Each structure stands twice: as structure tokens, then as C-alpha cells.
Amino acid sequence: MASSVKAVARENYAGNEKKTFRALFKRSYLAIPYGLFLALFVVFPLFLIVYYAFTDKSGGFTFNNFVAFFSSSTYVSNLLISIGIACVTTAVCLLIAYPVAYILSRFKSARSYIFVLLFIAPMWINFVLRAYALREILNLFGLLGKTNFLNTVIGMVYDFLPFMILPIYTTLIKMDKSLEEASADLGGNGAVTFFKVTLPLSVPGIVSGAMMVFLPSMSCYVITDTFGNSKVPLIGKLIESMFGTNANWNMGSALAIVMLIIMFITMLLTGGFKGEKETTRGNAL
């Protein structure tokens, strides 16, 4: 009797095993279309960029594109200006976004929700349309065409500010408030508590926000074109011109590789990507 029960149990177990194995097999197959799509339209294109970057117009292997890039003072200064603009934009965004996020995180949840929505809502207006709106304001103040560098930074900050506010706000909200209370109980005044407890704990939010502002502002030539009068050359614009009017795909690809390398370095420095963009953008909804 006992042995027959055992046999049935064993049979059932084996059956289940088989069933889950089959299910496992089938379910992972669901990723095949996306896998093929990624291979064809994400990974392969990057290999193509590498191929073009290391070949000349006739298709022969060469380092000349990179040599040309680093020996041209115009190109290198473009790159440095891009990095400079990105740094200034990130710093200004941080200076505005941190207090905003901090104040919002202290609100009661219902009111905080409404205010966060207020800061996020402009993001849903078309990006180029928003740039156009700001351009009209700058025009009204007579700034357009005069202070190109400043205009570019204003435009970048205007467009990327929500990307900085959201991750900082999210980390501040998730922070354990009792740590601040503990600091106060142990005799730390407001400033000490902020600089020794709150600020260090919100560093992850600052880092992901900074990455989300820094990387796009290095190449976002829509803004410089809209009201920097294209006088502030960004590396993104340079790449665009190589594929457009200049028609030098090899040079353009080399520039794209340089951008990829800078991105890679930024990621290494900031400790890499942790899907923060998703949480931020997702929270926006």
C-alpha cells in the first residue's frame, strides 16, 4: 500500500517536472522576437558604427578618422565645449532641483503628489515646442542671439530639470526618516543633520539624476539650434552634420565612438546604470 502511494507520488512528481520543464522551455521562447529585433536594430548597428569608424571611404582599414579628430583643434574644442555645457547644466540643475526635491519630500503625501505632478507636467508638452516657447521668452527679453552660451544652458536646464528632481525626490521619500530623528536626538542641529545624514543618503538619487542630465545635454543639439543660433557647437551637431551636409559617414562614426566612450567612462565613474531612468520616467506617469 505504502509503496504504491509512493509510486503514484513519484509519478506525479515526474509528471510535474516534465510539465514545468516544457512550460519553461516555451515561455523563454517568447523573447525570441525581441531578441532578434535587438540583434538586428540595436547591436548590429553599433557594430556597423565601429566598422565605419575604422575604415576610409573605399573601405580600407584605417585609424585616420580618429587621428583627424584629435588633431583638429575645432573638433577637440567642440568636444570640450560639449562637456563644459553638460557640466554647467548638470550643476545648475542640481542646485535648483535639490531644494525643490527636499521641500517636496517634506510635504504630506497628497499635497506632495500634486506638486510633483506640477513639476512633471511640462515634460508632456512636446520637447521642441517647449524649446520654442522658451525661445520666444528669451526673444522678449532681448537675450536671443546675444548670450549664446547662457541661452544654451538656460534651455538645457529648462528641459532637463524634471529628470534631476524626480530621482532625488524618490530617494528622499524612501529614506528612513528615523535616521534624521536619531541625529537630532543625539544633539545634531539642522545643518549637521542635513550634511551628515540627509545629503549622504541622497547621493544615489543625485548620481542618477546627474547622469540623466549630463549625458543628453552633451549632445542635445535641438536646443542649441533653437536658440543658441547654432553658435554653440555640440558634438551631437557635429555627428549630425557628418551624416547630413558633410556626408562623411566614416568621420561621423568615429565621432559616435568618441561619444560612446565618454558615456562609458561616465557610467564607470558614477557606478553604472541601475534602471534608475525607468523609475524616474515611470514615476512621471
Q: Where do we find the cell 528641459?
A: 159
The cell for 258 is 568618441
Instruction: Find the shortest distance in angstroms from Cβ 241 to another protein.
Output: 11
Residue type, 209: G
The cell for 109 is 503625501
2/284 with CB nearer another protein: 284
25/61 with CB nearer another protein: 25
Instruction: Find the shortest distance in angstroms from Cβ 175 to another protein.
Output: 18
The number of angstroms, rounded, from the C-alpha of 224 to the middle of its chain's C-alpha atoms is 19
3/14 with CB nearer another protein: 14
Burial class (CB in 10 A: 0-12, 13-18, 19+), 168: buried
Enumerate residues 6+ apart whose C-beta is below 8 A from 103.
Answer: none
75/221 with CB nearer another protein: 221
Phi then psi dihedrals of residue 37, to 5 deg: -60, -45
1/50 with CB nearer another protein: 50
Helices marked H in the chain — which ranges? 2-29, 32-38, 44-53, 64-71, 73-106, 109-120, 127-140, 148-174, 177-185, 190-193, 199-201, 203-219, 221-227, 235-243, 249-270, 276-284
Helix (H, G, I), strand (E, B) or coil at 116: helix
The cell for 158 is 529648462
The cell for 274 is 541601475
Instruction: Find the shortest distance in angstroms from Cβ 99 to another protein.
Output: 6
117/269 with CB nearer another protein: 117
Instruction: Find the shortest distance in angstroms from Cβ 280 to another protein.
Output: 11
Cα distance between residue 53 and residue 142, in whole Å? 42
Instruction: Find the shortest distance in angstroms from Cβ 6 to another protein.
Output: 20
3/260 with CB nearer another protein: 260
Instruction: Find the shortest distance in angstroms from Cβ 206 to another protein.
Output: 18
How many other CB atoms are there within 10 angstroms of residue 28's CB atom?
9
Instruction: Find the shortest distance in angstroms from Cβ 189 to another protein.
Output: 14
